[in-house]
Structure 1
Amino acid sequence: MPTHTRIRMFNTKQTYPNQSLDNDLCQAVRAGNTVYVRGQIGTDFDGNLVGLGDPRAQAEQAMKNVKQLLEEAGSDLSHIVKTTTYIIDPRYREPVYQVVGKWLKGVFPISTGLVISGLGQPEWLMEIDVIAVIPDDWAAA
Structure 2
Amino acid sequence: MSTTVKSFNHNVPWESLFGYSQAMQVGETIYISGQVAHDAEGNFVGEGDFDAQMEATFENLDKVLAHFDASRRQVVETTLLVVGLREHFNAAAAAHARYFGDHRPTSTASGVVELALPAQLVEIGAVVRLDIGS
TM-score band by shorter chain is 0.7 to 0.9
1:62 Cα deviation from its structure 2 partner: 0.6
- TM-score normalized by the length of structure 1: 0.83
Match of residue 79, structure 1, among 74, 77, 87: 74
Aligned 8 A contact 2:23 2:32 in 1: yes
After superposition, where does 1:107-118 map in structure 2 within 5 Å?
107-118=103-114
Which residue does the alignment assign to 1:8?
9
1:9 Cα deviation from its structure 2 partner: 6.7
1:15 Cα deviation from its structure 2 partner: 2.1
Cα offsets for 1:8-61 (capped at 9, x unmatched): 1758xx228xxxx84432111111111111101211231122211011110101
How many correspondences in the alignment?
Answer: 132
Q: Which amino acid in 2 is paired with 1:43?
A: H
Which residue does the alignment assign to 2:54?
59
**Identical aligned residues as a percent:** 23
Q: From the two aligned structures, give the one with the greater helix fraction.
A: 2
Gaps of 5+ in 2: none
Superposition RMSD in Å: 2.3
After superposition, where does 1:1-141 map in structure 2 within 5 Å?
3-8=4-9, 10=11, 14-15=13-14, 22-89=17-84, 90-135=86-131
Aligned 8 A contact 1:9 1:25 in 2: no
Aligned 8 A contact 2:38 2:57 in 1: yes
